[in-house]
């Protein structure tokens, strides 16, 4: 595989991981904008805009967009996160040209008022459905408890109030500001004809204008409040815990992910043996998430409502055990698991696309699979001990949600 990069005159970057032996191609536009870039009055606009992008352009109707993707045999979609909005397609290499044209075209949507009103209702229904299904919505809740008003705690969906208050003009202003070429990356992975890709990008995107928008990335202070939320419709009691961790620019993220796997992977971890294998809880897991300037250890527990106190004590005991340096066998098992995920994922161009584009936006660098594996292999038990000391895993904001109305955390 070979990494290639080109920057258009207007600042839009084109990057690709080219594999001549691949039988498919994945490509997509990565927009460096998400919920963290929204003002309170704009809450939810990034996700709303993602929906609107598929509603048609000056050259294509919404039906045309869907029909042409289908005619290409493409697997296509989009998603919005705290930091990025991504539009992508996986398809056969011979369809590279029409796919680039189609994806680039929808990145300049008409944003019609009628479409806005229709999609606004859809998103309001999505918000209500999301809140009606415990524990969904509690991830936003625990982020606000842990991080306060830091922008990474902004809800991706927004609120019913913020989305209802959005207007077509405010969305157009946000689009003009955030979808500027210097805030976009066109990425591709698999069997890519890169020279042709650059020509196609120049033809489709070369006239786009706009300067780089500003992103506020303040340091995050983490708080540790506890809160119980009563949701009588829930049949289980859930607990979500969130604490500080290495951020996306830190090489300590490799050790953090290994430590999270040792403590809370969904099989063979300390949480698994203590809570799942014993039948005390239905699920218990720990993950490390990294963003620009912010990292977090995120813990999840689901169990019978009557078992919440005991299981939460057990869970927090496991988190505290991070101070006991993991054994060499635990570290070896965690490395095997994560390396397997990296390698297996690398065999699919779409997985490589997400890694390629996301890594470029967050860190401005390319790391091939071999280097990722080397960095995982280089982590030592001393590194794990240092992470556990610098970011104590037993210092968390805690939210529990479920039918219990007698909890005292």
Sequence-distant (6+) residues with CB within 8 A of 50 are 78, 79, 80, 85, 87
pLDDT value, residue 180: 96
- How does pLDDT run across 58-71, given as a tens digit for each residue? 999 999 999 999 99
If you search the block for the tokens 């057990």, which residue do you land on? 314
* Number of residues in the chain: 409
pLDDT tens string 315-369: 999 999 999 999 999 999 999 999 999 999 999 999 999 999 999 999 999 999 9
Query: What is the C-alpha to C-alpha distance for residues 277 and 209, in angstroms, rounded to an integer?
Result: 57
Among 350, 386, 317, which residue's Cα sits nearest to residue 190? 350
Check pLDDT > 80 for residue 132.
no
Please give the structure tokens belonging to residue 376: 């995982």
The percent of residues in the chain predicted with pLDDT above 70, rounded, is 100
- Omega before 135 within 30 of 0, i.e. cis: yes
Q: What is the pLDDT of residues 296-312, one digit of tens each?
A: 999 999 999 999 999 99
Can you give the pLDDT at residue 212?
83
Here the tokens at position 312 are: 């939460």
Mean pLDDT of all residues belonging to the chain: 95
> For residues 333 and 271, is the Cβ–Cβ distance under 8 A?
no
What does the pLDDT read at residue 99?
98
Please give the residue that has the higher pLDDT: either 216 or 273. 273
Q: What residue ranges define each of the domains in the chain, with the CATH number in brackets? A: 2-205 (3.30.830.10), 226-402 (3.30.830.10)
Q: How does pLDDT run across 265-290, given as a tens digit for each residue?
A: 999 999 999 999 999 999 999 999 99
What is the rounded CA–CA span in Å between residue 306 and residue 45? 40
Q: pLDDT, tens digit, for every residue of 72-128?
A: 999 999 999 999 999 999 999 999 999 999 999 999 999 999 999 999 999 999 998
Q: What is the pTM of this model?
A: 0.94
Asked whether 29 and 79 are in contact (CB, 8 A), the reply is: no
The alpha carbon dihedral of 261, 264, 265, 269 has a sign of positive
> What sign for the dihedral angle of Cα 320, 322, 327, 329?
positive
- What digits encode the pLDDT tens for the residues 363-390? 999 999 999 999 999 999 999 999 999 9
Cβ atoms of residues 142 and 240 within 8 Å = yes
Using a pLDDT cut of 90, give the percent of the chain over it: 92
Q: Average the pLDDT over 26-30 and give the result.
A: 98
Which runs of consecutive H residues, i.e. helices, occur in 298-327? 308-320
Q: Nearest 5°: CA angle at 201, between 209 and 171?
A: 40
What integer is the mean pLDDT of 172-186?
A: 96
């Amino acid at each position: 595989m070979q990494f290639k990069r080109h920057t258009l005159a207007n600042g839009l970057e084109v990057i690709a991981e080219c594999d001549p032996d691949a039988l498919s191609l994945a490509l997509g536009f990565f927009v460096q904008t998400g919920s963290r870039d929204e003002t309170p009055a704009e809450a939810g606009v990034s996700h709303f805009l993602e929906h609107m992008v598929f509603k048609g352009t000056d050259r294509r109707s919404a039906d045309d967009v869907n029909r042409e993707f289908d005619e290409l045999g493409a697997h296509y979609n989009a998603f919005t996160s705290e930091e990025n909005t991504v539009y992508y397609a996986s398809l056969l290499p011979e369809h590279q040209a029409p796919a680039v044209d189609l994806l680039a075209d929808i990145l300049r949507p008409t944003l019609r008022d009628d479409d806005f009103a229709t999609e606004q209702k859809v998103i309001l229904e999505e918000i209500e459905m999301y809140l009606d299904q415990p524990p969904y919505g509690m991830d936003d809740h625990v982020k606000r408890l842990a991080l306060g008003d830091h922008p990474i705690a902004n809800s991706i969906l927004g609120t019913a109030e913020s989305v209802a208050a959005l207007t077509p003009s405010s969305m157009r202003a946000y689009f003009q500001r955030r979808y500027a070429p210097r805030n976009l990356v066109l990425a591709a992975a698999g069997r890519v004809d890169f020279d042709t890709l650059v020509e196609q990008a120049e033809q489709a995107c070369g006239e786009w204008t706009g300067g780089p928008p500003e992103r506020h990335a303040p340091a995050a202070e983490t708080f540790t409040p506890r809160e119980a939320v009563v949701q009588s419709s829930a049949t289980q009691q859930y607990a979500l815990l969130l604490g500080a961790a290495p951020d996306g620019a830190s090489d300590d993220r490799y050790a953090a992910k290994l430590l999270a796997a040792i403590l809370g992977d969904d099989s063979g971890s300390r949480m698994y043996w203590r809570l799942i294998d014993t039948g005390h809880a239905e699920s218990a897991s720990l993950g490390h998430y990294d963003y620009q300037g912010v990292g977090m250890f995120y813990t999840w527990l689901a169990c019978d409502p009557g078992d919440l106190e005991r299981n939460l004590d057990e869970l927090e005991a496991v988190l505290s055990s991070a101070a006991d340096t993991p054994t060499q066998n635990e570290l070896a098992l965690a490395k095997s698991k994560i390396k397997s995920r990296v390698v297996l994922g690398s065999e699919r161009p779409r997985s490589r696309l997400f890694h390629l584009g996301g890594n470029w936006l967050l860190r401005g660098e390319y790391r091939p699979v071999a280097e990722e594996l080397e960095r995982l292999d280089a982590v030592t038990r001393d590194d794990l001990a240092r992470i556990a000391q610098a970011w104590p895993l037993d210092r968390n904001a805690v939210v529990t949600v479920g039918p219990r109305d007698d909890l005292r955390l």
